[in-house]
Amino acid sequence: MPKHAVKKRTVKKHTVQRSLLLSLGAIVVAGLLMFNIGKVSQGNNSHSSAPRSAKQIKKDKLAKKVAKIHLTKHEKKVARNYKLNKLETRTASKTHITAIGDSVMIDVKPDVKQVFRHSAVSGSVGRQFYSLPGIVRHLKATGHLSKYIVVNLGINGPPTQHDINSVLKTVGKDRQIFWINTRVPRHWQNTTNRMISKNAKKHSNVHLVNWYKASKGHKGWYASDRVHLDLTGEKYYTRTLAKKVSDVLN
């Protein structure tokens, strides 16, 4: 066979081998690219299907609950007058409460009855916390103590832990206490508020209604004695309570 023919076959063989190698390399590169794209896609999918947080789940449930609420004519008026949303308004409207307090409770009674339609409200001038254990025992014994109890006692003096323990023992763990703290120009204000905060943190069925915080910078909500409330203050006091009740129950 002539030398030029052998050379030509050798060159052709090398060309074919080189083409095969290039094709194989292209296949490998394509495979690697597809593998990486698949990993990225899988990562994105796993991220999108990651479990929702408890906070997000609660938010979604509340949104569905709110969507089903159709306020009555009375509830719409309450929502407008007390600046409450649909859920807060409906929760207050349906919740049975027993409210016990001092003269401030007397002031806000009409508002509380307006927002909490199923409420029994007892206020008394000069009432202090030491009288609460006896009141709670009597209401429970006569079957008039609701599952949800509102307390506003503090403008006339601070509570003692002994009296608080007595109330908690009578109330039991199945009832919820919404305890409103105080803003009053008296030396026992901070002591009272610390006691309320301490017990709210310690007991799961005691909830702090932070009127002290809500009323900060609103001297116009108070009467001239800076203890009792004017009409605007009474509305915001009731609003603060309603929002807390809704937050806890929902």
- Which residue is catalytic, options 103, 122, 146, 166? 103
162 is catalytic: no
103 is catalytic: yes
- Which residue is catalytic, options 4, 46, 204, 225? 225
230 is catalytic: no
- Which residue is catalytic, options 111, 163, 207, 228? 228
Q: DSSP for the chain? A: --HHHHHHHHHHHHHHHHHHHHHHHHHHHHHHHHHHHHHHHHHHHHHHTSPPPHHHHHHHHHHHHHHT----HHHHHHHHHHT--HHHHHHHHH-EEEEEESHHHHHHHHHHHHH-SEEEEEE-TT--GGGHHHHHHHHHHTT---SEEEEE--TT----HHHHHHHHHHH-SSSEEEEE----SSTTHHHHHHHHHHHHHH-TTEEEE-HHHHTTT-GGGB-TTSSSB-HHHHHHHHHHHHHHHHHHH-
Active centre residues (catalytic): 103, 225, 228
